[in-house]
Amino acid sequence: DTEVTQTPKHLVMGMTNKKSLKCEQHMGHRAMYWYKQKAKKPPELMFVYSYEKLSINESVPSRFSPECPNSSLLNLHLHALQPEDSALYLCASRRLGRGSQDTQYFGPGTRLTVL
C-alpha cells in the first residue's frame, strides 16, 4: 500500500466554524507533513511531525492546530479561519531511519473554501 489518503476532498466552512482535516497512511512512514497550496503557487510547508512529535512549525497561525494521534494518522484542526486561508491542503509522508528513501508521498489534498 503506497497510498496517502485525505478526507474530506472538499470542505466549505464559515469563519466561525471548527473543522478538521484528516490524513492517513499505512506505509510505516514516521514523518508526516502538512502543506498549504494556493492556486498556481508551490506548496508551502506548514508542519512536520517526526515519530509522532511536532518537529517543525513554519510560523503557522494558531488557528491551524496539528495533531498526530498515532504513526498512521495526521489531523489538522481548523478554527476561526479567514477567507485567505482558502487553499488546497496537502498531506505527505516519508519513511525515516537507516536506508530510508528521502522522497515524500503525497495525498490528493483537501480543497478548503472559507466563506
List of residues contacting other proteins (CB under 8 A): 4, 31, 33, 40-45, 48, 50, 55-56, 88, 90, 92, 101-109, 111
Looking at beta carbons only, is 54 or 115 nearer to other proteins? Answer: 54
Complete DSSP assignment for 63-99:
TEEEEEEETTEEEEEEES--GGG-EEEEEEEE--STT
Residue that the C-alpha cell 502543506 belongs to: 35
Looking at beta carbons only, is 50 or 79 nearer to other proteins? Answer: 50
Which residues share a beta bridge with 47?
34, 57
Shortest distance, CB of residue 60 to other proteins, whole angstroms? 14
> For residues 59 and 51, what is the distance between their CA atoms, to the nearest angstrom?
21
Cis peptide leading into residue 42 (ω within 30°): no
> For residues 28 and 19, what is the distance between their CA atoms, to the nearest angstrom?
27
Shortest distance, CB of residue 47 to other proteins, whole angstroms? 11
Shortest distance, CB of residue 24 to other proteins, whole angstroms? 14
Shortest distance, CB of residue 3 to other proteins, whole angstroms? 10
Looking at beta carbons only, is 70 or 101 nearer to other proteins? Answer: 101
